[in-house]
Amino acid sequence: MTALLEVEDLKVAYGKIEAVKGITFKVEAGQVVTLIGTNGAGKTTTLRTLSGLLKPIGGQIKFNGRSLKRIPAHQIVSLGLAHSPEGRHIFPRMTIEDNLRLGAFLRKDKDGIEKDIQRAYDLFPILGERRKQAAGTLSGGEQQMLAMGRALMSQPKLLMLDEPSMGLSPIMMQKIMSTIAELKAQGTTILLVEQNAQAALSLADQGHVMEIGRIVLSGTGQDLLHDESVRKAYLGED
């Protein structure tokens, strides 16, 4: 059976600097797959390339059996690949509800949109309580919830989350991670980039360790959690 996402020998460059140096991995439907690594490893660049924001200089990306070569970013969203970016990128002057509706801009099914807005409020009750507030009045963690809710509004087959816990308090980080676990339990396929390796690997079916644009280690989330080199480099253990 074909994987939902297949990445083969992907190479991405900024000018003459190669940021991603030929990585290969796949994501099966229903899986949570995580990319971990230090800053500059190429994780965010990989996600931005998958969502069509950057163009690769080599390799193949196939989504649902279809090559994404030459497909613009807005069409990639319509195919079912949604990206909740690092830094959240919400619209601060618009209300929470209008931010969510923007995530459904390609959809025409009004009833389905209303149902998914309610689903976002069920996942993140604080958003429902403040739905008419300007999104810029939310805390960092609440803005992250909004960014995730907005990405889910496109009804993605694959949800890409880039650093969802970055800059959050431990309590808020725990909330975000438990929501990702809930989405996994509901069958959502997720590609997760996360600096908190412990949290990411605990959730992941498969994990890949990236260093300077390459995947240097792959395995199940549990295998990598217990790998000595991973524990030393990413979990802060001696």
How high does pLDDT run on average in the chain? 93
Closest CA to 81 of 9, 24, 7: 7
Question: How many other CB atoms are there within 10 angstroms of residue 105's CB atom?
Answer: 11
Mean pLDDT of 149-155: 93
Mean pLDDT of 121-142: 93
Look at residue 238 in the predicted model and tell me its pLDDT.
57
H-only helix segments in the chain:
43-50, 73-79, 96-102, 110-123, 125-129, 140-152, 170-185, 197-203, 221-225, 228-234
Question: How many other CB atoms are there within 10 angstroms of residue 226's CB atom?
Answer: 13
Look at residue 162 in the predicted model and tell me its pLDDT.
93
Mean pLDDT of 105-111: 90
pLDDT in tens, 21-35: 999 999 999 999 999
Helix (H) or strand (E) holding 24: strand 17-27
Region of 59 (left: φ > 0; alpha: ψ -120 to 50; beta: rest) is: left
Q: Give CA–CA dist 143/160, Å, rounded.
A: 16
Look at residue 2 in the predicted model and tell me its pLDDT.
73
Look at residue 65 in the predicted model and tell me its pLDDT.
93
pLDDT in tens, 50-100: 999 999 999 999 999 999 998 999 899 999 999 988 876 889 999 999 999
Q: Which long-range contacts (C-beta less than 8 Å, at least 24 apart) are formed by 221-226?
A: 221/32, 221/34, 224/36, 225/198, 225/201
- Give the chain's end-to-end CA distance (angstroms, integer): 41
Q: Amino acid identity of 13?
A: A
Q: Give the pLDDT band of residue 1 (cuts 50, 70, 90).
A: low
Structural domains of the chain ordered from first start:
5-235 (3.40.50.300)
